[in-house]
Structure 1
Amino acid sequence: MRRTYNNFCPTESVTARSIHVARKDALRRFYECGFPYSRKLTAHKSCVNYLAFSRHDGRWLASAGDDFRVLLWDFSEEDVVRPGHVFTGPSGNVLALDFSATNQYLYSGGADNVILKYDVSTLRGVGGSDGRGSSSFVKQYEDHDDSVRALTCHPYEDEIFLSASEDGKLILHDGRTGGGMSAAQGTLQHTAAFTGVQHHPVMEHVFATSDVHGQVCLRDTRMTFGPLSRRSNGGIVRVYNTKLSRKSARYLSNPESSSLTFDRDGNKLAVTFLHYFPTIYALSDPHPLAICTGRNAPDGTPISPSQRTYTNSCTMKAGAFGGPGMDEDDMYGAGSDDFRAYVWKIPPLMNLQGLRKEITSDDWYTREWPDTVAFAEGKWETRYVPLEISTPLARLNGHKSIVNSVAIHPSLLHVVTSGVERQIMLHSPTLSSPAVQNLLPTPPTVRTLQPQDLAAQRTFLRALFGPHATLHDEEDGEEEGEDETISLFDHILRVEGEADVFTVRRWGEDSAEDSEDEDEDSEEIIIDYL
């Protein structure tokens, strides 16, 4: 008699593991070559500020910006060349997008202080829209008094999302019948403008925030919202170390944390800093593990000091984790002021923790630390020097100006980027894929930022004071308007592009304001969730 073992077959298990390992090795070989092929997706009429793929299968790419429209690109098509649907309704520049838990809804927010809710489910059912039309929002939220900088949807509930605004309000929205709370109970009023908010992808009560003062916090909705009697410390359960220290400076610097994002499992948190580098944290560790720079080319060759590389000084940027085809997000992408986007491979957290340096306060002040920038919670606290990931996996060309937003497809081997221009760039390691065909090689170089001349000065003044042409219907008008916009940001780059974070973001403990910050830091409640 043949004996069975509850359908367990060692041979099948070994075979499955072998296939999994072989698949990951094949994907890594693709990624090692970077993303040398690309296509311009052209439909917007002005700057494209934000990109977001729908969850799970990544069928839809949502894009939005300064033309007051939200476009949906359908990646279930054989060849994506134009948007499948257009959502209208915003009356200001769109700055944030997110799909709900099951992709039934898409939410947008921006400079008009309003959040709009769109029903995506009507675009894919039998007898629904063919995807080539235009429709408006199904609901609007007018709870903010200033620009909506970020919004993030609940990981499991379509009707629940958080929004963060420059008015300092953090609002929990719950559209379920009978599931809402009063406006007061669902609002946290902060002392600084919020710049980012991100729901944890697994733990439904946990989320992270960032603000213009550089503070990055992990919070709990049960402590943040509801009756005052239930609230505690603004819901903060962890404060991340975001202040910078350099031996040559007698003070610390607190760079603005302009956006943040989790990886798919919520184990890693990436923060985009103004005037500094993208920084990687572990959820359970307040001190940073890695910074992502572009000091080397993807082949490991050092970049000459005279050449431009990764910087972030001029615009609001949003990065993204990804790992298409992998079982973890081991890549991170971000846009840069050097007219490129960068993708870095992130080592395992255990490796990063082992490579981080810790320097006691005594060692910091008694030894020489040339060119060392460390993170410190206070002037007399231990310094933490995270690993520098100086060699990116890829530098993504194809843009003529600053890149602001990066999104990585959840399953297909594509990265999309956008920014000051009206085109979206779709990047790929291969000439074709299930969603695109016959891509072209991306130009190997990017436009050089030229010194200001008379012609550039005239274009800049026309962009600054003259009527914008970015919303004209004629192609010539659109191109002229884009040239003016690029000229405007070129001027900003010349003025602000080389700013030193220790000069523009000084944090001195001797000032009254900074003493208050220290007092607040000493009173923070730290709860270890893991």
Structure 2
Amino acid sequence: MDHLSSRRRPALIRDLSRPNLRHPQLHRIQAVEALLQRGFPYSRKLAAHSSCVNALAFSSLDGRFLASGGDDLNIHLWDLHEEQVTTPCCSFRGPRRNIFVLAFSANNRYILSGGTDDVVLKFDATQLERPLNPQASRSPDHMFRHHDASIRALAPHAVQDDIFLSGSEDGRIILHDGRAAPSTRARAQDTIQFMAEVTGVLFHPIMEHIFATSDANGRVCLRDLRMAFGPLTQRTQEGVVHTYTTKLSRRSASYLSNPETGGISFNRQGSRLGVTMLHYFPTIYALMDPDPVAVCSASNLPDGTPIPSGAYTYANSCSTMKQGSFGGPGLDEDTLYAAGSDDFRAYVWALPPPAELAARRTRISHADWDAGAHAGVVAFADRSAGPRCVPVELHTPRARLGGHASVVNSVLVHPTMLLAASAGVEAHIVLHGAVESLLGGMRPTAPRVRKVGEAWAEASEEEIEEGEWETITLFDEILQREGNADVFDVRRWRGGDEGDSEDSGGDSEESDSEDGRVLLR
């Protein structure tokens, strides 16, 4: 009888630690999830740049190549299929001024570069196919000189290699099509003009007509390409089909705050949007829900214990351009979100299922909020007299990634390998692995991280170039000035609600927003 009972036990209660030959995909997912539970405890550095590395990008599809660029004006490509990745497989002659953003086209035919010289460069990447051609040109095969200020974002189309969007501090988003006749000026029908600097633009990974935008006034929108561009008579609301709630409310403040939104990212499924916010936490939205479902903070260590009093943890107050990313290498869905921090670390959070987050967040009527029972709580609101939404706060990150001695700006999770890459103020890139054997071998990352103002010799035995140390010291000084800024002090918002009377205070500057409201910065 006992033998028969054991044979009839449901498969779900079997010992899942043993290989499940009848369900290999399930076993693979469980094995990957078990490895990711440990975070990315191993690391190694890639050294080829001579100054800050501002931009990272994995090649499309399988992420074989990692592109890096920064203040030294070089674009290096690293082949992650090599047994020992020690030097770039090839390099491109970059622009005349600092590189801010890199992107691969949909099928890796081109590499796009943008930065402070207002020019978008397009490089032929077909040479990356094996065998690599050492005689191939390293200069750009096309330059797009249509912007009047720094390029902040490049968005390759999800399918077409020749189509991409560029966003600039001149307030314009321009639609480019490499198949069209070259022109010295952007056509009006291919341009959207904002009243604020563009900080992000990104095509949806699946719906090829949908793209997201963010700007310095804190506005994040989902737009439709067919409604955003073309003759003015055919446009509708500049293509906006959805606007996300990004303003903050706190009971101790009589006004709302509108954090400056920086980098934006989609998960692979296009069901979630991540937004980095200056002076606040990374915020996660479901695609068609205006209110956020989660904010990613780090008041706890990865083991769940609270951060010791006075210790550094996640922050984004230094005025550098940070870019977060979703990831789920080896999994069918992206379950991780990663972002760089001012405390010289990168952070990785595990995201609960969307339905769970939506059920756990709290919605509060304005009357209840105004009653004053929510002291210390920060909520999201679209207007001063409107309802509030308190998303789930993810206090405990899955991992805190070290290996840096200054601010970390860019963190990317590899699409297929148990790997993440991070870069920032320093001249090297750090590769973080979930297993030690990746890329020819990694070492455990030292748990200790240099503190702001601490001399390098006191924090590490590694050598560092004098010029790089000068840059690190400069950013230490910036952090000491800006590190404790409160978003409600530096980004007050005067809304369009009737009867609003928030005072700007201090020496804030006024600027018109895209929807006609006045922003106080």
TM-score by length of 1: 0.87
> In 1, are the aligned partners of 2:251 and 2:372 still within 8 Å (CA)?
no
Separation in structure 2 between the aligned mates of residue 347 and residue 65 of structure 1, nearest angstrom: 34
Deviation at 1:34, TM superposition (A): 1.5
**Secondary structure at 2:26 match in 1:** helix
Deviation at 1:47, TM superposition (A): 0.2
Q: What's 1:277 paired with? A: 281
Distance 1:235 1:60, change over 3 A: same
> In 1, are the aligned partners of 2:248 and 2:381 still within 8 Å (CA)?
yes
**Secondary structure at 1:237 match in 2:** strand
Q: What's 2:100 paired with? A: 95
Q: What's 1:483 paired with? A: 469
Q: What's 2:3 paired with? A: none
**Secondary structure at 2:440 match in 1:** coil
Separation in structure 2 between the aligned mates of residue 422 and residue 138 of structure 1, nearest angstrom: 27
Q: How does 1:71-470 map to 2 (within 5 A)?
A: 71-126=76-131, 128-130=132-134, 135-177=138-180, 183-314=187-318, 315-433=320-438, 436-450=439-453
> In 1, are the aligned partners of 2:77 and 2:91 still within 8 Å (CA)?
yes
Q: Structure 1: which amino acid aligns with 2:365?
A: T
Separation in structure 1 between the aligned mates of residue 120 and residue 512 of structure 2, nearest angstrom: 34
**Secondary structure at 1:362 match in 2:** helix
Identity %: 53
> In 2, are the aligned partners of 1:318 and 1:405 still within 8 Å (CA)?
yes
**Secondary structure at 2:449 match in 1:** coil
Show CA shifts across 1:357-396 (max 9, x none).
0010010011321210000011111100000011111100
Show CA shifts across 1:91-132 (max 9, x none).
111001111010111100000000000111123145x5159x
**Residue of structure 2 aligned with 1:501, choices 487, 491, 495:** 487
Deviation at 1:89, TM superposition (A): 3.1
Separation in structure 2 between the aligned mates of residue 321 and residue 17 of structure 1, nearest angstrom: 31
Deviation at 1:450, TM superposition (A): 3.0
Separation in structure 1 between the aligned mates of residue 325 and residue 72 of structure 2, nearest angstrom: 23
> In 1, are the aligned partners of 2:243 and 2:290 still within 8 Å (CA)?
yes
Q: Structure 1: which amino acid aligns with 2:236?
A: S
> In 1, are the aligned partners of 2:218 and 2:246 still within 8 Å (CA)?
yes
Show CA shifts across 1:436-489 (max 9, x none).
11211110110012389xx9xxxxxxxxxxxxxxxxxxx99x711110000000
Separation in structure 1 between the aligned mates of residue 186 and residue 450 of structure 2, nearest angstrom: 52
> In 2, are the aligned partners of 1:310 and 1:337 still within 8 Å (CA)?
yes
Deviation at 1:178, TM superposition (A): 6.6
Separation in structure 1 between the aligned mates of residue 494 and residue 164 of structure 2, nearest angstrom: 36
Q: What's 1:67 paired with? A: 72
Q: What's 1:35 paired with? A: 40
> In 2, are the aligned partners of 1:319 and 1:334 still within 8 Å (CA)?
yes
Show CA shifts across 1:17-72 (max 9, x none).
72111111111111111111110100001000011101111111011110111110
**Secondary structure at 2:189 match in 1:** coil
* Aligned-pair Cα RMSD in Å: 2.5
Distance 1:182 1:406, change over 3 A: closer
Separation in structure 1 between the aligned mates of residue 151 and residue 484 of structure 2, nearest angstrom: 28
Separation in structure 1 between the aligned mates of residue 171 and residue 514 of structure 2, nearest angstrom: 20
Separation in structure 2 between the aligned mates of residue 89 and residue 341 of structure 1, nearest angstrom: 27
Separation in structure 2 between the aligned mates of residue 394 and residue 79 of structure 1, nearest angstrom: 25
Distance 1:516 1:103, change over 3 A: closer
> In 1, are the aligned partners of 2:453 and 2:473 still within 8 Å (CA)?
no
Distance 1:422 1:179, change over 3 A: closer
Residue ranges of structure 2 left out of the alignment (5+ in a row): 1-10, 12-19, 496-500, 504-508
Separation in structure 1 between the aligned mates of residue 97 and residue 265 of structure 2, nearest angstrom: 24
Separation in structure 2 between the aligned mates of residue 425 and residue 369 of structure 1, nearest angstrom: 41
Q: Structure 2: which amino acid aligns with 1:349?
A: P
> In 1, are the aligned partners of 2:338 and 2:346 still within 8 Å (CA)?
yes
**Secondary structure at 2:188 match in 1:** coil
Q: What's 2:5 paired with? A: none
Show CA shifts across 1:167-219 (max 9, x none).
00100000125799961111111111100001000111110000000000111
Deviation at 1:347, TM superposition (A): 1.0
Aligned residues: 483
Separation in structure 1 between the aligned mates of residue 257 and residue 94 of structure 2, nearest angstrom: 40
> In 2, are the aligned partners of 1:123 and 1:130 still within 8 Å (CA)?
no
> In 1, are the aligned partners of 2:194 and 2:514 still within 8 Å (CA)?
no
Separation in structure 1 between the aligned mates of residue 97 and residue 324 of structure 2, nearest angstrom: 22
Deviation at 1:305, TM superposition (A): 2.9
Q: Structure 2: which amino acid aligns with 1:170?
A: I
Q: Structure 2: which amino acid aligns with 1:25?
A: Q
Deviation at 1:422, TM superposition (A): 0.3
Q: What's 1:8 paired with? A: none
> In 2, are the aligned partners of 1:300 and 1:391 still within 8 Å (CA)?
yes
Q: Structure 1: which amino acid aligns with 2:242?
A: R
Separation in structure 2 between the aligned mates of residue 384 and residue 17 of structure 1, nearest angstrom: 45
Show CA shifts across 1:343-367 (max 9, x none).
1111111111101100100100113
**Secondary structure at 2:403 match in 1:** coil
Separation in structure 2 between the aligned mates of residue 489 and residue 275 of structure 1, nearest angstrom: 16
> In 1, are the aligned partners of 2:174 and 2:186 still within 8 Å (CA)?
no
Distance 1:220 1:519, change over 3 A: closer
Deviation at 1:431, TM superposition (A): 1.2
Separation in structure 2 between the aligned mates of residue 17 and residue 222 of structure 1, nearest angstrom: 47
**Secondary structure at 1:137 match in 2:** coil
Separation in structure 2 between the aligned mates of residue 197 and residue 69 of structure 1, nearest angstrom: 24
> In 1, are the aligned partners of 2:327 and 2:336 still within 8 Å (CA)?
yes
**Secondary structure at 1:163 match in 2:** strand
